[in-house]
């Protein structure tokens, strides 16, 4: 890791940890006013993370595209960017960070434990398809993470509203109906970008490995994950799965994406993908 | 038989109407979305099993080791095709059922899609009472408003509008249901392209050194693994000479490779990682690099005994051997050689100081071991081994497939279909301009696919903006 990269990386982790604590405080002590201040904190962490990426770019000459560490760094950046963007568009959605920030914190912690050494860009990654494939992979991961966060908020808010005295911390968030639809909307966005990611990956694979589909473990998991979200959309549109069921689906389905990005290489070491092995 | 005698048929065990009802029920289930979901779950399960059970085609070494350790278990799994899961009879049956289900679903949806994209006067309803519309509102309008103003503003918001101020129907993204058909039809294109590519597929590996000519001869492909010949079609029809091979390495990362080749017409092509040589529906994909030194063996009087280029697979620290003049030479190769702490080692993967560590033996007896730098030599038992050149060789993964353009068209159609269907979904409104309590009002009702609350926000925003514009006029 570059010197300034290490500093900004750790600073962003500390800020995200404090922000996560702030969200927990807001819910437990029923203080909704804290949320907007904590969101400012998240924005500060985001700036620090951006600077860490810039420092790494300065040291290597390329954006962090590969390996578990770089994936955590850049993938986490996309999730936080998405969270801040929707929070900026609609203040009621600032609370989504309560779901996404802990996820990003775990990703950054995990990434730090992997190999963060500075390496030149591998030849296999020097192609326009990398940018298309990985960019859409991050967008889909970000959208699915937001769907999970909206699902968590929906379940918490619904539980709170069932009580005699609801927790006022949830008043700042959108109504249950809107949260329910937001879960679906983020799933839809993730599914579209996921489709583009898989198509671009297949075309790239043809040039790189000679085969557009090789049942590589990461390929297979990405297909499984795509099918899971495809089923989620069908269940919602055709079978009318809403509210609790949809929220739980969005939370559970994210595990397939996490396995795809971080888990496959833990159990199977034969992947052609360069998440861990160059 | 008498003329008026009736032939009595034996009564069937199952009455015809029950058989018909059973067939209808089966067709209904086969064409249901419930069945689609069951099939997708089962296919997903097969894929997950394929990740954990070593597959013969993907993990040959692991599979054979595992087979030695647990022959009974492997034989049992082999029997059910679980070690060739992606082409096993179970998986293929599931795919067949999936496409049967998809065909039936699409067939059933055709009239539904047709009816949904047609707009007619019948869709103009009273906004106050129209059923199925979740959003209802009314907005005061200025007096003496031109009837067409509101309708034109709706058209500016990309609504197709039917009717007039006394009652109208508007629809945005009217053709969105067509995207449903496109998205699902793309699966058939992917299937068709995939099937064509599988049945026309040729796969082989070939190792070519700098300066070598290749004219597509089948016998020149590697024997291990054996080339996979196409079920239908031909092997690659090519002719080219490798002009140069130039690896690019920074520390321990391969940052590129540049293989230049000249085809039969003398045209130059450059092959690299991510840029295969494509010709005759075939791709020559770079897979591996090796060194192919020219060794010459001389006897004690300086006469050449034998000499040849040897394609040695030694770049990643693997040992390799070759025979020359009755001697067996075993060699290790170091790209950036140094002798450190009594050991031969390489500082990096960069070709800064390439050195062979060579052991020579005859009849199982080791005669000598020494290092040979590039263009160096070694002496042993009255002989001298000279390295004259050290060019590289490359291994190409050669694949010939047809139908890829159909497959890619499927990907494109899937992407267009999914974006169109899920982002450009339908919104419908019915409305009228009428007097309410002496005030001219725009009375509207609206509905949207997928969303209710979010669509209400959208309608509210749109109508508020429209009314503002009307007021401004």
Cβ atoms of residues A84 and A36 within 8 Å: no
Using the predicted structure, report yes or no on whether residue B235 has a pLDDT greater than 90: yes
Residues B300 and B255 both lie in one domain: no
Contact B251 A195 (CB under 8 A): no
Give the tens place of pLDDT for each residue, B11-52: 667 778 888 888 889 988 998 988 999 999 999 999 888 888
Band of residue B296 on the pLDDT scale cut at 50, 70, 90: very high
**Do B243 and B310 have their domain in common?**
no
CA distance readout (Å), B77 to B51, B61, B85, B177: 14, 17, 10, 44
Chain B environment of A123 (Cβ under 8 Å)? 248, 254-257, 272-274
Mean pLDDT in residue range B171-182: 94
pTM: 0.84
Q: CA of B280 to nearest chain A CA: how many angstroms apart?
A: 15
Whole-angstrom Cα distance, residue B197 to residue B200? 5
Verify whether the Cβ–Cβ distance B422 to A192 is below 8 Å: yes
Domain region containing B466:
118-174+426-472
> What does the pLDDT read at residue A16?
94
Q: Which of A121, A223, A267 sits opposite B255 (nearest CB)?
A: A121
Strand pairing of B327-334 and B320-324?
Answer: antiparallel
Together in a domain, B103 and B128: no
Residue B259's nearest CA partner among B320, B201, B212 is: B212
Inform me whether the pLDDT recorded for B57 exceeds 90. Answer: no
Least Cα separation, residue A77 to chain B (angstroms)? 25
Q: Are both B237 and B313 inside the same structural domain? A: no
pLDDT digits 0-9 by tens, B262-280: 999 999 999 998 899 999 8
Q: What is the pLDDT of residue B395?
A: 95
Using one digit for the tens of pLDDT, what is the confidence trace for A158-189? 999 988 888 887 888 889 999 999 999 999 99
The stretch A12-35 carries a mean pLDDT of: 87
% chain B with pLDDT above 70: 97
Q: Which chain A residue's Cα is nearest to B449? A: A237
Query: Which residue of A180, A194, A195, A270 to mutate against B (max B Cβ within 10 Å)?
Result: A195
Smallest CA–CA separation between A15 and chain B, in Å?
Answer: 33
Per DSSP, A263 falls in state I
CA distance A68 to chain B (A): 17
Question: pLDDT tens digits for B376-415?
Answer: 999 998 999 999 999 999 999 999 999 999 999 999 999 9
Q: What is the pLDDT of residues B120-170, one digit of tens each?
A: 889 999 999 998 999 999 998 887 777 788 898 899 999 999 998 899 999
H/E segment holding residue A148: helix A128-161
* Model confidence pLDDT, tens digit, residues B452-468: 988 999 999 999 888 88
Give the residue from B278, B411, B414 with the most A CB atoms within 10 Å of its CB, the best one to mutate: B411
Mean pLDDT in residue range A45-56: 95
What is the reported pLDDT for B81?
A: 84
pLDDT at B357: 94
| Residue B222 pLDDT exceeds 80 | yes
Residue contact A206–B283, C-beta within 8 A: yes
Tell me the shortest Cα–Cα distance from A226 to chain B, in angstroms. 10
- With bands split at pLDDT 50, 70 and 90, how would you rate the model's confidence at B69? confident
Per-residue pLDDT, B17: 82
Q: Which residues of A touch B414 (CB under 8 A)?
A: 195, 199
Q: Do B127 and B110 have their domain in common?
A: no
Residues in chain B with CB shorter than 8 Å from the CB of A203 are: 408, 411
Q: So what's the pLDDT on residue A192?
A: 94
Residue A271 has pLDDT above 60, yes or no: no
Over residues A220-230, the pLDDT tens digits come to 899 999 999 99
- Residue that is last in its domain, among B91, B114, B137: B114
For residue B274, the chain A residues in CB contact (below 8 A) are 123-124, 126-127, 129, 204, 207-208
Distance from CA of A69 to the nearest CA of B (A): 17
Q: pLDDT band at B7, cuts 50/70/90?
A: low
For residues A141 and A216, which has the higher predicted lDDT (pLDDT)?
A141
Residues of B with Cβ-Cβ distance to A269 under 8 angstroms: none
More confident residue, A277 or A197: A197
Alpha-carbon gap, residue A245 to A236, rounded angstroms: 9
Q: Is the pLDDT of residue A146 over 90?
A: yes
A206 touches chain B (CB under 8 A): yes
Pair B95, B139 in one domain? no
β-pairing, B213-214 with B202-209? unpaired
B88 and B134 assigned to the same domain: no
Kindly indicate whether the ipTM for this predicted assembly is greater than 0.90, answering yes or no: no
Predicted confidence band at B1 (pLDDT cuts at 50, 70, 90)? Answer: very low
| Domains identified in chain B, total number | 4
Residue A276: per-residue pLDDT: 40
Average pLDDT, chain B: 89
Pair A48, A12: CB distance under 8 Å: yes
The phi-psi region of residue A216 (left if phi > 0; otherwise alpha if psi is between -120 and 50; otherwise beta) is beta
From the list B43, B197, B452, the residue facing A177 with the nearest CB is: B452
| Last residue within a domain, chosen from B99, B114, B129 | B114
Cβ contacts of B450 on chain A, cutoff 8 Å: 181, 184, 188, 236-237
Give the pair of three-digit tokens for residue A34.
Answer: 């804290």
CA-based nearest residue in chain A for residue B44: A224
Q: Is the pLDDT of residue B76 over 90?
A: no
Nearest chain A alpha carbon to B288: A209
Distance CA(A159)–CA(A162), nearest Å, equals 5
The owner of tokens 């030599």 is: B377
* pLDDT category of residue A278 using cuts at 50, 70 and 90: very low
Instruction: Give the pLDDT confidence of B339-374 residue by residue, as tens digits.
Output: 988 899 998 888 899 999 999 999 989 999 999 999
Among the listed ranges B8-12, B237-241, B297-301, which one has the minimum average pLDDT value? B8-12
Q: Assess A175–B contact: CB distance below 8 Å, yes or no.
A: yes
* Predicted pLDDT at B127: 93
B419 contacts on A by Cβ (under 8 Å):
192
Q: Cβ contacts (< 8 Å) between B415 and chain A: which residues? A: 195-196, 199
Any idea what the CATH number is for the domain that residue B149 is in? Answer: 3.30.530.50
Residue B407 domain flag: no
Distance from CA of A17 to the nearest CA of B (A): 32
């Amino acid at each position: 890791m570059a010197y300034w990269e290490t500093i900004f990386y750790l600073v962003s982790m500390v800020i995200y940890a404090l922000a996560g604590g702030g969200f927990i405080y807001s819910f437990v002590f029923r203080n909704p006013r804290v949320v907007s201040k904590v969101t400012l904190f998240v924005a500060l962490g985001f700036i620090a993370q951006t600077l860490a990426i810039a420092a790494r770019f300065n040291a290597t000459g390329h954006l962090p595209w590969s390996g578990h560490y770089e994936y955590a760094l850049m993938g986490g950046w996309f999730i936080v960017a998405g969270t801040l963007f929707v929070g900026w568009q609609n203040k009621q959605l600032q609370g989504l960070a309560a779901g996404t920030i802990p996820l990003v914190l775990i990703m950054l912690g995990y990434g730090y434990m992997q190999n963060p050494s500075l390496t030149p860009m591998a030849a296999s990654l020097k192609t326009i398809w990398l940018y298309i494939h990985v960019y859409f992979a991050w967008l889909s991961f970000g959208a699915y993470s937001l769907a999970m966060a909206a699902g968590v908020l929906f379940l918490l808010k619904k539980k709170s509203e069932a009580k005699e005295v609801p927790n006022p911390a949830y008043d700042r968030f959108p109504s249950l109906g809107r949260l329910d639809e937001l879960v679906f909307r983020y799933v839809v966005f993730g599914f579209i970008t996921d489709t583009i990611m898989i198509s671009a990956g297949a075309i790239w694979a043809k040039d790189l490995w000679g085969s557009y589909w090789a049942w590589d473990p990461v390929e297979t998991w990405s297909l499984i994950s795509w099918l899971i979200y495809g089923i989620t959309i069908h269940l919602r549109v055709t079978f009318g799965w809403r509210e609790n069921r949809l929220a739980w689906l969005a939370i559970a389905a994210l595990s397939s994406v996490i396995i795809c990005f971080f888990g496959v290489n833990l159990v199977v070491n034969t992947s052609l993908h360069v998440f861990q092995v160059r | 038989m008498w003329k008026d005698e009736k032939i009595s048929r034996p009564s069937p065990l199952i009455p015809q109407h029950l058989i018909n009802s059973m067939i209808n029920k089966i067709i209904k289930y086969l064409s249901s979305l419930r069945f689609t979901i069951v099939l997708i779950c089962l296919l997903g399960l097969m894929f997950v099993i394929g990740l954990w059970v070593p597959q013969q085609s993907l993990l040959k070494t692991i599979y054979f080791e595992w087979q030695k350790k647990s022959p009974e278990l492997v034989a049992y799994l082999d029997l059910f095709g679980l070690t060739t899961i992606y082409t096993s009879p179970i998986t293929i049956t599931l795919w067949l059922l999936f496409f049967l289900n998809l065909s039936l679903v699409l067939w059933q949806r055709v009239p539904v899609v047709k009816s949904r994209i047609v707009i007619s006067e019948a869709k103009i309803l009273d906004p106050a009472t129209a059923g199925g519309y979740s959003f209802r509102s009314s907005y005061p309008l200025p007096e003496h408003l031109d009837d067409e103003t509101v309708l034109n503003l709706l058209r500016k918001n990309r609504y197709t509008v039917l009717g007039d101020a006394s009652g109208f129907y508007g629809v945005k993204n009217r053709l969105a249901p067509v995207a449903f058909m496109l998205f699902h039809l793309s699966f058939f294109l992917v299937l068709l392209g995939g099937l064509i590519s599988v049945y026309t597929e040729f796969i082989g590996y070939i190792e070519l050194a700098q300066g070598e000519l290749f004219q597509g001869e089948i016998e020149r492909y590697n024997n291990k693994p054996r080339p996979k010949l196409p079920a239908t079609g031909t092997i690659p029809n090519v002719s080219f000479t490798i002009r140069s091979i130039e690896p690019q390495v920074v520390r321990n990362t391969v940052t590129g490779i540049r293989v230049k080749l000249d085809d039969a017409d003398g045209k130059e092509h450059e092959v690299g990682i991510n840029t295969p040589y494509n010709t005759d529906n075939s791709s020559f994909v770079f897979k591996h690099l090796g060194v192919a030194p020219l060794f010459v063996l001389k006897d004690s009087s300086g006469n050449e005994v034998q000499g040849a280029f040897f394609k040695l697979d030694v770049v990643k620290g693997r040992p390799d051997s070759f025979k020359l003049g009755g001697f067996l030479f075993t060699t290790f190769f170091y790209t950036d050689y140094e002798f450190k702490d009594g050991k031969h080692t390489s500082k990096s993967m960069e070709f800064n100081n390439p050195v062979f560590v060579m052991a020579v033996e005859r009849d199982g007896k080791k005669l000598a071991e020494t290092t040979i730098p590039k263009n160096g030599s070694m002496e042993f038992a009255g002989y001298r081994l000279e390295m004259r050149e050290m060019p590289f060789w490359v291994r190409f993964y050669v694949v010939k497939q047809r139908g890829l353009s159909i497959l890619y068209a499927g990907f494109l159609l899937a992407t267009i279909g999914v974006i169109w269907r899920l982002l450009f979904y339908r919104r419908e409104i019915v409305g009228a301009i009428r007097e309410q309590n002496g005030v001219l009002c725009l009375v509207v009702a609206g509905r949207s696919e997928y969303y209710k609350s979010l669509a209400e926000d959208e309608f509210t925003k749109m109508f508020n903006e429209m009314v503002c514009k009307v007021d401004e006029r």
